[in-house]
Amino acid sequence: MKQLLDFSAALLAPQAIKDAGYAGVIGYFSVSRPGADFGAKPLRRAYCDQLRAAGLEIVSNYQYGKGVTADWRGGMDAGVHHAQIALRYHLEAGGPLDRPLYAPVDDNPTLGEWNQLVAPFLRGWASVVGLERTGVYCNSRCIDWALEDDVAQWFWQHNWGTPKGFVHPAAHLHQSEIDKRRVGGIGVDVNDVLKPDYGQWSKAATGSTVNKPEYNEVNRIGRSANSRGGARPIWFLLHTQEGNGTAESLANYLNNPNNGVSYHYTVDNDGNVVDVVDTDDASWSVLEANNRAINVCFAGSRAAWGSTQWLQNMGRAIDIAAYLAVQDCRKYGIPPRVITPEQLGRGESGIADHWAITSGLGIGTHTDVGDGFPWERFAAAVDKYSTTTMKEAVMSLADDELSKRFPSRSKYRDNDNDVDTLAGFILNIDARIHEAHVEDAALDGVAWAVDLVKREAAKGDEGAQATLAQIEGAK
């Protein structure tokens, strides 16, 4: 039986792992919690590369809190939060896109705790990494509950709360020994491999990424209902046209202010998408809920359709709408998951339709997209795009961070208005340091520096002209 080690106190030399006869590691892709200083949290790219070069397997795992601060005690919001961190460290370390990440339930929760906290935590986790990549470290009883609730598909069993000697048949890994031995001078736990595919990186599929759907997007953004008034959108909503239009003709209708209705997007089954209202603004779609929603309308659709009609008439448009939903969910921090009217009414964030606003919030009378809408097909497309664009999403988050603007911190500033990005500040610092270096050298009579100052002074630069005047005045 293959066995893997998990450890967090310090990094263990790959050769020591091999020499001890183990096949690899279950690594932590989380930071240390307050008051702790775990040397093997998180695993970084250089160490993971060393493990793989030594022929050792890697499985991705996460745990930040413990006991009263356990991660799962934060419910769904904590699941989303911790999964985003786990995903970032996993990808930064070279973790493959299609491998699972095991979430932590390092406890023996009651059924009430499971229903109220753990299951929502795992649903939040799955909303980030995808259900098919959601693993859970838990006891055998929790594996039963997870299978029943369909909130995880990979299982790493621990023995706390598990009947003595029992190994769940659905478990991929079993932590059979804790704190009983040391390898390379470091305390380790031992885990038995129970299935051929237990989430190891080496099993990653090649060429498994899914491309964005093909569609033609046209910008017709002209008017909007108003700004969101500081509110952040928390819902992506689907609508029907109840007519025979195309994305273009419907957009033209919406851009007539006399008609009193608009959506952010229109989409049709010929692969056309029209941007009608900027998603940073509110559209005229769902009355009092406008400032919290992003809205897409299927041009040429009807709420009375059955599932077959939807798939025949809007199959391509459904796929495109799912892709648009995922992109905006990433942009605004909305979990890319379909929610029920009841969940929407409780203020939970996600993807729904106009009926969810009517039923969940009691606003208006619309029933679209109707009972026949193929939600399973749409949800599968959302899952496909949300789990196969994870690297793109992480890079997008990085781009967003770099594009944020900040105020000056100079003590001589006269306001706190944002003036530049972080990268801009760094580049400005570089420019000022180099300019000061050149001008100081020029004032000291260094020939190359004087030539540079003359060059910029001739271009009309006032700073260079002032420096040149000092040089010439000193002669």
Neighbours of 437 (CB within 10 A): 11
**Residues 72 and 119 sit within 8 Å (Cβ to Cβ):** no
User: Picking from 192-201, 242-251, 256-265, which range would have the lowest pLDDT averaged per residue?
Assistant: 256-265
Decide: 258 and 279 in contact? Cβ < 8 Å: no
DSSP letter at 348 equals -
State the average pLDDT over residues 332-359: 94
Confidence of residue 320 (pLDDT cuts 50, 70, 90): very high
Reported pTM: 0.51
How far is it, in rounded angstroms, from Cα 11 to Cα 255? 60
CA gap 127, 402 in Å, rounded: 25
Distance, in Å, from the CA atom of 141 to the CA atom of 157, rounded to the nearest integer, reads: 10
CATH architecture of 216-387: 3-Layer(aba) Sandwich (3.40)
pLDDT tens-digit readout, 29-44:
999 988 888 999 999 9
Are 97 and 60 contacting, i.e. CB atoms less than 8 angstroms apart? no
What's the pLDDT tens digit per position in 430-460? 788 888 889 999 998 999 999 999 999 999 9
Residue 180 scores a pLDDT above 50: yes
Query: What single string gives the DSSP state of each residue in 263-314?
Result: -SEEE-TTSEEEE-S-TTEE-SSSGGGGGGEEEEEETT--TT--HHHHHHHH
pLDDT of 25 strictly over 50:
yes
What is the homologous superfamily of the domain 3-203 according to CATH? Glycosidases (3.20.20.80)
- Please give the residue that has the higher pLDDT: either 274 or 88: 274
What is the structure's pLDDT at 208?
Answer: 44
Domain pair 3-203 / 216-387, same fold: no
Q: Where are the domains of the chain?
A: 3-203, 216-387, 418-473
Instruction: Categorize the per-residue pLDDT at 209 as very low, low, confident or very high, splitting at 50, 70 and 90.
Output: very low
Per-residue pLDDT reduced to its tens digit, 4-22: 999 999 999 999 999 999 9
Confidence of residue 366 (pLDDT cuts 50, 70, 90): very high
Q: Are 4 and 22 in contact (CB under 8 A)?
A: yes
Q: Please give the pLDDT value at position 389.
A: 43
> What is the residue whose two structure tokens read 């989430």?
199
Instruction: Report helix, strand or coil for 104.
Output: strand
Residues 6+ apart with CB under 8 A from 421: 402, 403, 404, 405, 406
395-96-30 Cα angle (round to 5): 75
